Structure 1
Amino acid sequence: MPRASQGYVVTKTSKIAVVDDDGSMRDALSALVRSIGMAVASYASADAFVAAQGFDDADCIITDVQMPGMSGIELLEFIRRRRLATPVIVITAYPSAALQARAMAAGNASFMGKPFDGNDMVNRIEQVLAQP
Structure 2
Amino acid sequence: MPATSVISVLDDDPYVRAAINNLLESRGYIVHTFASAEEFLSSTDSSHTSCVVADVQMPLKTGIDLLTQMRAQGSVTPFILITAFPDESVRMRALEAGAICFLGKPFVASDLMQCLDRALAAGDRTME
Corresponding residue number in structure 2 for 1:126: 117
Corresponding residue number in structure 1 for 2:80: 89
> Aligned residues: percent identity?
38
Q: Partners of 1:47 and 1:70 in 2: how far apart? A: 7
Corresponding residue number in structure 1 for 2:30: 39
TM-score, length-scaled by structure 1: 0.89
SS in 1 for 2:82: strand
Match for 2:92: what amino acid? Answer: A
Tell me the CA shift for residue 54 of structure 1.
3.0
1:67 to 19, 41, 58: 58
Q: Partners of 1:82 and 1:32 in 2: how far apart? A: 30
Which 4+ runs in 1 deviate beyond 2 A? none
Could you list the runs of 5+ residues in structure 1 that have no partner in the other structure?
1-9
1:19 to 10, 32, 35: 10
Corresponding residue number in structure 1 for 2:107: 116
Match for 1:75: what amino acid? Answer: L
* C-alpha distance after superposition, 1:51-104 (max 9, x if no partner): 114320000000001111111111111111111111000000001111111111
Q: Partners of 1:78 and 1:55 in 2: how far apart? A: 12
TM-score, length-scaled by structure 2: 0.92
Q: Partners of 2:119 and 2:78 in 1: how far apart? A: 6
Q: Partners of 2:65 and 2:103 in 1: how far apart? A: 17
Corresponding residue number in structure 2 for 1:76: 67
Residues matched between the structures, number: 123
> Over the residues paired in the alignment, what is the CA RMSD in angstroms?
1.0
Match for 1:80: what amino acid? Answer: R
